[in-house]
């Protein structure tokens, strides 16, 4: 199951003793993993976090991104900016 691999990748990719994932590592893992899952918005997401977030990725952010990608897929036409996200 892809979700299990995605969730495992967070812990596997972290530096020893760190709770968060270094941004450059996260971007590399997202690029790899979402090429398998085929989420077309991955490159836009990676560009956004590199330009605006500029800090380590928490486990919560990592897990929520998968749910976001699964729910909204190829475009944001169903996205509600006033929703629970």
pTM confidence score: 0.88
**pLDDT at 8 (0 to 100):** 97
Per residue in 45-66, pLDDT (tens digit) is 999 999 999 899 999 999 999 9
3-state secondary structure string across 11-41: HHHCCCCCCCECHHHHHHHHHHHHHHHCCCC
**pLDDT at 74 (0 to 100):** 81
Segments of the chain with pLDDT less than 70:
84-85
| 27 within 8 A of 49, measured Cβ to Cβ | yes
């Amino acid at each position: 199951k892809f979700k299990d691999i995605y969730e495992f990748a967070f812990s596997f990719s972290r530096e020893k003793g760190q709770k968060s994932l270094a941004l450059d590592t996260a971007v590399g893992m997202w690029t790899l993993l979402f090429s398998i899952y085929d989420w077309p918005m991955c490159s836009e997401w990676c560009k956004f976090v590199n330009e605006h977030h500029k800090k380590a990725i928490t486990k919560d952010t990592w897990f929520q991104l998968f749910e976001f990608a699964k729910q909204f897929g190829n475009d944001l036409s169903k996205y509600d900016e006033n929703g629970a996200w």
